[in-house]
A and B are shown apart, each in its own frame.
Chain A
Amino acid sequence: RKEVEQDPGPFNVPEGATVAFNCTYSNSASQSFFWYRQDCRKEPKLLMSVYSSGNEDGRFTAQLNRASQYISLLIRDSKLSDSATYLCVVSASNAGNMLTFGGGTRLMVKP
């Protein structure tokens, strides 16, 4: 079983739609959580951190459920420019706090 699992997609949604991705992690010692975004043939870039109480950044909302060991990313009012792969990233204190990347969920927003 992978440490960080994501549905690879692709999620095909029309502009303006709301879309949500989930990510599950297996290491119960995980302490920090992030979403990264990777455009096609580009490098990953930090999108947002995920805090225990949930957090919002514009159209993006991240949630953490420690009991069930999953995190989510909600994108409202999807734009064409949101098309990318979204990587769930977890770090655990018993893994040297190194970042473990999920395989990514591909989103395609269509006109």
Chain B
Amino acid sequence: DAGVIQSPRHEVTEMGQEVTLRCKPISGHDYLFWYRQTMMRGLELLIYFNNNVPIDDSGMPEDRFSAKMPNASFSTLKIQPSEPRDSAVYFCASSYGTSGGAVTGELFFGEGSRLTVL
């Protein structure tokens, strides 16, 4: 089975440009997460969706960041305009929920999108 698929794997862009990161979760998973990882701050949860609905976006750093999940098999994270401090690895992850609606402990991560903003 295919795992979580992210694209692009690498992106180098200039400050001010729009960046769109894409994610295809594992089929059947009802939770999708966007994380950002940097050396300084580690893994930070940006936003997560349950059954395509955004549940908590409190980790989104500012209005320049937006995320959508138009259907169960696709999500995007957009940064507009991008800034050098947005340089990081962005991970998408998906998981099943429990019967009680909570997230299980196993998140399946994509390989990440490494973003460099010059």
What residues make up the interface of A, taking CB atoms closer than 8 Å to B? Answer: 32, 34, 42-46, 49, 87, 89, 91, 96-104
Contacts and interface: CB of A to CB of B under 8 A. Distances in A.
Given A96-B56, A101-B42, A102-B42, A43 B91 contact: yes
Contacts of B106: 34, 46
B109 A98 contact: no
A87 B37 CA distance: 12
Contact of B105 (A45, A49, A87, A102): A49
B19 interface: no
B56 A98 contact: yes
B25 interface: no
Given A91-B103, A96-B55, A99-B103, A43 B109 contact: yes
B17 to A, nearest CB: 24
Query: What band does the interface of chain B fall in when counting residues whose beta carbon is under 8 Å from A?
Result: 10 to 19
A99 B48 CA distance: 11
Nearest to A45: B109
B53 interface: no
A91 B107 CA distance: 12
A47 to B, nearest CB: 10
B57 interface: no
A106 to B, nearest CB: 11
Interface centre among B42, B45, B103, B109 (most CB of A within 10 A): B42
Interface in B67-107: 91, 102-103, 105-107
A42 B111 contact: yes
Contacts of B110: 43
